[in-house]
Chains A and B, each alone.
Chain A
Amino acid sequence: MKLQINPFLYREMRRYAGSRKFYIWLFIYEAFLTVVTGVGYHIALHTSWDQIMNYSGAAYVYFILAGILGLIVLLIVPSFAAGSLASEWEDRTMELLLAASVKPSEIVVGKLLSSVCLAILLVVAGMPFLSVAFIVGGIQKKHLIQFLLLLVMESVFIGSIGVSLSAACQKVDMAGLQSYAASMGLFVGTALVAVVVYIIERTSQGGGDIVQKGGFGGVMLILLFNPLITMASLLTDQMGYRNKFQELLCVLGPVPEFVMMHWCLISILIQMMVSIILLILSKRKVEKYYL
């Protein structure tokens, strides 16, 4: 059986491959990562004693690089995903796609794939820089693979939000705006909720220790939807700071232990479920357009 690349993905890939702008941006991106990696390891080497490598310093560079990669990916995906379906409506090409006996589900998944493909490409392009930490030491191969997989899944999550808003708005600009607002709501908004509850509690308790009184730990569960926290949970775990991360989670009160122990996995599962629901809704929006 012949393997056929999804037509939407193929189109996007061809578009990138044929665009000079893309190569310029890729060069800038690689140059930026080179500088960060170079400066990072230079500092790490200079803080070593008696020519002995400072492994924790190398791990910090990995942490910073991974954070930068994650942020870039999570900031790029919404704009691509938001334009995915809306551009077909704006360009009046959706009618032909539907008439071409392409299933609405194939259109939605294809559009998600093409939005995520750039993110994956950037992650893969950034992998050599992360791999330096693996060569220097302090980070294992499996950590890199885990991080790569996490970024792909987070891209899918953020991408599906963008695709669903794209299907709902049918206008590229509006979908882009809403997509960024939704992403920021997840990145900052969920954290803000936890911070606000923390401040209110501290104020009402007169600065007492909330962890001991254990009232609002459940509020922290909202952070399961936050891709940045998911990423932080994985990276802190990889660096051996799981306890610190769990301490932070319990700042409002006890969080169910099972959730705390498997935060990253549960978070990914929840986000993937949300993605599936959003993609189903997008599919319905597409198939009901002419009805």
Chain B
Amino acid sequence: MLKLQKVKKSYGRKMVLDQLDLEVENGTIFGITGGAGAGKTMLCRMIAGLIPADEGKIMAAGEDMAHDPENIRKKVGYVPKEFGRYRDMDPEEYLDYYGRLYGLSGEHTGEKIEKLLEMVGLAAQKQVQVEKLKLCEKKRLALARCLLEDIDVLVLDDFLVDLDPRERKEIDPLLFQIRDMGKAVLISSPSFSALTGEEESLGILQEGKIVVQGSLEEISEQVNRSNPLELVIAEKSTKAIEVLKEEDTVTRISIDGHKILAGFQGTQEDQVRILRCLMEQGVPVISFQRRKSDLESVFWKMTE
């Protein structure tokens, strides 16, 4: 499990992370997004143990990073934004090299490397130069590298950016597989659209703070709360307007032919009640729904 408590980090006068709290349970994926300079990379580097926090606690696998950074780093797999250049290595050598850096060696490591290459679908390319691999393959190789150690937390910085839909189809199942292995996965992305859509929780980082956090439904609900109601009725009806006007949660009403747009500040229960009233008054409702925000508009709204 990954847990951040009141983490603070500043560079000079600029506060990059401000009293940040975050929790990612084992077996879940947490997607974090935010504009440029929001502090995503800094956050990932701090969790990876590259940068210490000024204040607060970063805990991985139940242990405080500040107390034993070297050991805790072994519990955190980290894939930075850039893969880096490995001019003289094939995937097998790459994993062997990192295995040695992690202090692993021997027959078991060889077997583990074989299994990992199989798992990430690179067994056939194990003797192709790493530099010649496609971006998606490099990313899969990076995941295999993280799994060389018995990690508890996986941190992926801007990991899903620049992948086309076909490549996403290859990567996403792998991420779910890692999640299902009981790892806490944190993925950062500059936009919601680059995330998998399967995250258990999402967060928006802005000016060093997580301004919104929760499941996709919870965030959407939070944002949709100020979205208008859209009604389409079969024939023009003054009754519909009357019903809506009587509702405290409806702020303004605009009519465009058979379509009514009503400003709305209510909950789902309020929606149900309004629909029931309309039906009771015999309004011929064809459709009744609250306008939905897509992920990107959620992001724009929250970071306005």
- Given A4-B105, A7-B101, A100-B102, decide whether A93 and B84 contact each other with a Cβ distance below 8 A: yes
Contact of A93 among B76, B78, B86 (CB under 8 A): B86
Q: Within 8 Å CB of A10, what residues of B?
A: 97, 100
Contact of B74 among A2, A15, A97, A101 (CB under 8 A): A101
Shortest distance from the beta carbon of B242 to any chain A beta carbon, whole Å = 64
Query: Are A98 and B93 interface neighbours, CB within 8 A?
Result: no
Q: Does A103 touch B at the CB level, under 8 Å?
A: yes
Query: Are A91 and B85 interface neighbours, CB within 8 A?
Result: yes
Q: Within 8 Å CB of B102, what residues of A?
A: 100-101
Q: Within 8 Å CB of B78, what residues of A?
A: 96, 99
Q: Does B82 touch A at the CB level, under 8 Å?
A: yes
Most B-side CB within 10 Å, residue of A2, A4, A100, A103: A100
- Compute how far the CA of A186 lies from the CA of B147 in the bound complex, rounded to whole angstroms: 47
Query: Are A99 and B50 interface neighbours, CB within 8 A?
Result: yes
Q: Which residue of B lies closest to A90 (CB)?
A: B85
Q: Which residue of B lies closest to A4 (CB)?
A: B105
Q: Within 8 Å CB of B69, what residues of A?
A: 101
Q: Does A284 touch B at the CB level, under 8 Å?
A: no
Q: Within 8 Å CB of B87, what residues of A?
A: 91
User: Per-residue 0/1 for A98-123: is the Cβ within 8 Å of any B Cβ (1 yes, 0 no)?
Assistant: 11111100000000000000000000
User: Per-residue 0/1 for A38-71: is the Cβ within 8 Å of any B Cβ (1 yes, 0 no)?
Assistant: 0000000000000000000000000000000000
Query: Are B101 and A100 interface neighbours, CB within 8 A?
Result: yes
| Interchain residue pairs A-B with the least CB separation, the first 9 | A7-B100, A93-B84, A91-B85, A101-B73, A92-B84, A92-B82, A99-B78, A99-B48, A100-B101
Q: Does A285 touch B at the CB level, under 8 Å?
A: no
- Given A2-B106, A15-B88, A100-B102, decide whether A95 and B80 contact each other with a Cβ distance below 8 A: yes
Q: Does B128 touch A at the CB level, under 8 Å?
A: no
Shortest distance from the beta carbon of B164 to any chain A beta carbon, whole Å = 23
User: Per-residue 0/1 for B56-87: is the Cβ within 8 Å of any A Cβ (1 yes, 0 no)?
Assistant: 00000000000001110110101010111111
Q: Within 8 Å CB of B76, what residues of A?
A: 99
- Given A4-B100, A101-B70, decide whether A14 and B93 contact each other with a Cβ distance below 8 A: yes
Q: Does B138 touch A at the CB level, under 8 Å?
A: no
Q: Within 8 Å CB of B86, what residues of A?
A: 91, 93
Q: Within 8 Å CB of A100, what residues of B?
A: 73, 98, 101-102
Contact of B50 among A2, A11, A103, A290 (CB under 8 A): A290
Query: Are A97 and B50 interface neighbours, CB within 8 A?
Result: no
Question: Considering the complex, which residues of chain B in the window 104-141 have a beta carbon less than 8 Å from any beta carbon of chain A?
Answer: 105-106
Q: Does A291 touch B at the CB level, under 8 Å?
A: yes
- Compute how far the CA of A252 lies from the CA of B88 in the bound complex, rounded to whole angstroms: 52
Q: Could you show 18 A-B contacts with beta carbons less than 8 Å apart?
A: A7-B100, A92-B80, A92-B82, A95-B45, A95-B50, A95-B82, A96-B78, A99-B49, A99-B50, A99-B76, A100-B98, A100-B101, A100-B102, A101-B71, A101-B74, A103-B70, A290-B50, A291-B52
Q: Does B51 touch A at the CB level, under 8 Å?
A: yes
Q: Within 8 Å CB of B45, what residues of A?
A: 95, 290
Shortest distance from the beta carbon of B263 to any chain A beta carbon, whole Å = 49
- Given A4-B105, A10-B100, A11-B97, decide whether A99 and B85 contact each other with a Cβ distance below 8 A: no
Q: Does A207 touch B at the CB level, under 8 Å?
A: no
- Compute how far the CA of A216 lies from the CA of B184 in the bound complex, rounded to whole angstroms: 70
- Compute how far the CA of A95 lies from the CA of B87 in the bound complex, rounded to whole angstroms: 17
Q: Does A206 touch B at the CB level, under 8 Å?
A: no
Q: Does A240 touch B at the CB level, under 8 Å?
A: no
Interface residue tally for chain A (C-beta within 8 Å)? 24
- Compute how far the CA of A14 lies from the CA of B100 in the bound complex, rounded to whole angstroms: 13
- Compute how far the CA of A165 lies from the CA of B84 in the bound complex, rounded to whole angstroms: 22
- Compute how far the CA of A103 lies from the CA of B143 in the bound complex, rounded to whole angstroms: 22
- Compute how far the CA of A218 lies from the CA of B82 in the bound complex, rounded to whole angstroms: 53
Q: Within 8 Å CB of B73, what residues of A?
A: 99-101
- Compute how far the CA of A80 lies from the CA of B141 in the bound complex, rounded to whole angstroms: 28
Query: Are B85 and A98 interface neighbours, CB within 8 A?
Result: no
Query: Are B101 and A98 interface neighbours, CB within 8 A?
Result: no
- Compute how far the CA of A99 lies from the CA of B119 in the bound complex, rounded to whole angstroms: 23
Contact of A2 among B82, B84, B85, B105 (CB under 8 A): B105
Query: Are A102 and B101 interface neighbours, CB within 8 A?
Result: yes
Query: Are B80 and A96 interface neighbours, CB within 8 A?
Result: yes
Query: Are B85 and A93 interface neighbours, CB within 8 A?
Result: yes
Q: Which residue of B lies closest to A87 (CB)?
A: B85
Query: Are B105 and A91 interface neighbours, CB within 8 A?
Result: no
- Compute how far the CA of A103 lies from the CA of B74 in the bound complex, rounded to whole angstroms: 13
Shortest distance from the beta carbon of A20 to any chain B beta carbon, whole Å = 13
Question: Considering the complex, which residues of chain B in the window 242-268 have a beta carbon less than 8 Å from any beta carbon of chain A?
Answer: none
- Compute how far the CA of A265 lies from the CA of B103 in the bound complex, rounded to whole angstroms: 37
Q: Which residue of A lies closest to B72 (CB)?
A: A101
Shortest distance from the beta carbon of A110 to any chain B beta carbon, whole Å = 9
Query: Are A18 and B80 interface neighbours, CB within 8 A?
Result: no
Most A-side CB within 10 Å, residue of B52, B86, B101: B101
Q: Which residue of B lies closest to A110 (CB)?
A: B101
Q: Within 8 Å CB of A98, what residues of B?
A: 50
Query: Are B74 and A7 interface neighbours, CB within 8 A?
Result: no
Q: Within 8 Å CB of A4, what residues of B?
A: 100, 103, 105
Q: Within 8 Å CB of B71, what residues of A?
A: 101
Contact of A290 among B51, B88, B101 (CB under 8 A): B51
